[in-house]
Structure 1
Amino acid sequence: MSLTDAQRDVLEGWVRRRSTAQSLAQRSRIILECAEGHSIMEVSRRLGVTADMVRTWRRRFLERGLDGLSDEPRPGVPRKITDAD
């Protein structure tokens, strides 16, 4: 798995920034570790996550790039109270 310089800069920025959601920072760490050439099992061991989690985010990144690391809409009834309210 390889990253462009721009992708690497964005991922490293997400990991370093204090205001980044922890889930996005974790996903970024997973992708950066995979790009270093580490195996799925090694990445899962190093980061303390399951191998399935590494596989999921690696696959989504390969399919959709950086956009694949954001949360997808969840099923169910839409919210009645918005952020503005």
Structure 2
Amino acid sequence: MSESEREQLQVIIKKGSDWRERERAQTILMLSEGQTVVAVAEHQGVQPEAIRERRRKWWKNGLASLPDQPRSGAPSKLTDAHRSQLKEWIDAEPLNCRALVSRLTTECGVTISAGTLRNELKRMGYVWKRTRYSLKKSVIPNASSRLSKTSLN
């Protein structure tokens, strides 16, 4: 392993945003320091075969083996046009997920679940909180006000 690769691995361990990538980089560094596969597996709490697989991928692809590879799955039902339409609706008026899903179904003909829409909105950078309907004060006065009234009598 070259010195530049070692430095890059250390940077990934310290400042990497993905925990899986940091763990894989730590695996490679520990192996390069002469630790055994079993010792590294015990330290990281994984099976030895996982460590061997990481080592194989490192030999084959180097630093490119650390990030997650694209996974299979169904393609997104939302296109960029749908995302821009959602953005326009959200910027025009605050709507909840159910209203957005029904509007998307009626106007664009796209049927998705509210959970899928929430995930998509999070990817788009939107954050929301549950609406609180009232901020009622307690009916029971606090103990300190009771104590002061009784001490005055």
**TM-score if structure 2 supplies the norm length?**
0.49
Alignment of 1:1-85 (within 5 A): 3-17=1-15, 19-81=16-78, 83-84=123-124
**Which residue number corresponds to residue 82 of structure 2?**
none
Identity of aligned residues (%): 27
Question: Which string of whole-angstrom CA distances, capped at 9 and with x for unpartnered residues, describes residues 6-42 of structure 1?
Answer: 110110001111x521111000110000101111111
Query: Unaligned 5+ residue runs, structure 2?
Result: 79-119, 126-153
Cα RMSD of the aligned pairs, angstroms, is 1.8
Query: Letter of the aligned partner of 2:6 in structure 1?
Result: R
Identify which of structures 1 and 2 has the higher relative contact order when contacts are C-alpha pairs closer than 8 Å and 6+ apart. Answer: 1
Q: Distance in 2 between matches of 1:48 and 1:58?
A: 16
| Unmatched segments (≥5 aa) in structure 1 | none
Q: What is the CA distance between 1:84 and its match in structure 2?
A: 4.3
TM-score by length of 1: 0.84
Distance 1:76 1:34 in 2: 33
**C-alpha distance after superposition, 1:44-64 (max 9, x if no partner):** 012222112111111101100
Bigger Rg, which one: 2
| Structure 1 residue 79 displacement after superposition | 3.0
Distance in 2 separating the partners of 1:11 and 1:32: 7
Separation in 1, partners of 2:23, 2:77: 30
Q: How many residue pairs were aligned?
A: 82
Any idea what SS the aligned residue of 1:41 has? helix
